[in-house]
Amino acid sequence: MHRTLVPWGGDIRLEIDGRTHDVRHGDAVRFSGQAQTHLVALDRPCHAVNLLASGSEPTLVTVAAGARFDDAAIALVTEASDVAARFDVIRLDPREPLPSIGVVVRFDGD
């Protein structure tokens, strides 16, 4: 399993298999799903987007409202809009712009 974690709304410090990683708001950290992981510190309460996937390692990118992706599979909306609520997972239509700031998951080669 591949694991990708993105803090949203704050910065965090993780210990992954004994190594410390400072992860800023909106940045992704990738590691094995079997890794020993501990939250060491956070600068303020925040959300964390966690993605666990088997097979191909997914690509996560943070994008601004209005972005379009022809090859994106799903998006995690992180601000409420008239299209989706906070943290909804939606399938992207390449003809439509992303309705809100979000995290896009792309599975290359699948």
Q: Across-strand partners of 13? A: 22, 41
- pLDDT tens digits for the chain (110 residues)? 888 888 888 999 999 999 999 999 888 888 998 999 999 999 998 888 777 777 666 666 666 666 666 655 565 656 666 665 566 666 667 677 666 656 655 555 44
Amino acid at 23: V
Give CA torsion, residues 4, 33, 56, 13, to 10 deg.
20
Global pTM value: 0.63
Strand 74-77 relative to strand 59-63: parallel, antiparallel, unpaired? unpaired
Contact of 28 with 2, CB cutoff 8 Å? no
Give CA torsion, residues 102, 27, 7, 95, to 10 deg.
10
End-to-end CA distance of the chain: 16
